[in-house]
Amino acid sequence: MGKAYLTLNKLPQGKCACVKTLFADEEVKRRLEDLGLVTGTKVEAVQKSRSGDPTAYYFRGTVIALRSEQARQILVEV
């Protein structure tokens, strides 16, 4: 079975993945990296808001909410 890649916004709630790369522009990329979303980081989708956007993600001991447009710029491996 091969590796499965998808963007973070497609990660189902309760599932974990590993960050592979960021496709964001430099300003957004720097912000995400400052938060700890770097290559190799394990991340879990923990909860979606009632409207479905934003989604809360758990990584490096904290929970951060990201909007779909931000999470779409992060490629993860399931």
CATH of the domain at 52: 2.30.30.90
Cβ(66)–Cβ(57) below 8 Å: yes
Mean pLDDT confidence for 40-69:
93
Q: Dump pLDDT digits (tens) for 14-33.
A: 999 999 999 988 998 999 99
Q: Tally the domains of the chain.
A: 1
Cβ(11)–Cβ(45) below 8 Å: yes
Mean pLDDT confidence for 29-45:
93
At 64, the pLDDT band (50, 70, 90 cuts) reads very high
Cβ(47)–Cβ(56) below 8 Å: yes
pLDDT of residue 51: 85
pLDDT of residue 1: 54
What domain range is 33 assigned to? 5-77
pLDDT of residue 55: 95
Entry pTM: 0.89
